[in-house]
Amino acid sequence: MDQKRRVKVSRYLSRHLRHEPERLGIVLDPAGWTDVAALLAACRARGLPLTLEELHEVVETNDKRRFAFSEDGLRLRANQGHTVEVDLDLPVTAPPPVLYHGTVARFLPLIRREGLRPMTRHDVHLSPDLETARKVGSRRGVPVVLTVDAAAMAAAGHAFRVTANGVWLAPAVPPAYLAFPA
């Protein structure tokens, strides 16, 4: 499968596994899993024929590791970023001392006042390194990377979780724990 098709399939899966499963005609269980055979049949029925081998290729080569197969390989889910109600059942985990959040300048006034909020998602997404945060911020323009004092947040009782692909999640990040670039 060429890169263009991999990207198309990845975006298609992201939209339906994170935001609109009903539009594809699939059902997510409470933890966000869907049956692989049903997913492949639904994709075929809606004009995106996809083989099991191609699905594995998309999952394995995705640079952000957006998806995961269940241990038995019979189910698939998105690792994070859902707007539909799911419980990924991720344990509370002690974060590294510092995490990062990529955004763009037009959101900074609101972030300075209110901190980071999940908006339409369930949690705020945080990156463990600057480069990932830059990539995330660059999706909407020139990136601005904020530094999150995760150690202080955790010490104050804020919960963090980490997804299978290394994205850190927090319900919110109050402004007091953010450092803005000069």
| Domain 98-179 top-level CATH class | alpha beta
Q: Which of 89, 11, 90, 92 is nearest to 50 (CA)?
A: 11
- State the greatest distance between any 2 C-alpha atoms of the chain, in Å, as a whole number: 52
Whole-angstrom distance, CA of residue 76 vs CA of residue 88: 12
Is residue 182 pLDDT above 90, yes or no? no
Average pLDDT over the chain reads: 95
Question: Tens digit of pLDDT for each residue in 57-78?
Answer: 999 998 888 999 999 999 999 9
**Domain parsing of the chain, residue ranges:** 3-78, 98-179
Coil, strand or helix: which one is 82? coil
Question: Tens digit of pLDDT for each residue in 126-169?
Answer: 999 999 999 999 989 999 999 999 999 999 999 999 998 899 99
Q: Counting Cβ atoms within 10 Å, is residue 28 exposed (0-12), middle (13-18) or buried (19+)? A: buried
Predicted model pTM: 0.80
3-78 folds as Arc Repressor Mutant, subunit A (1.10.10)
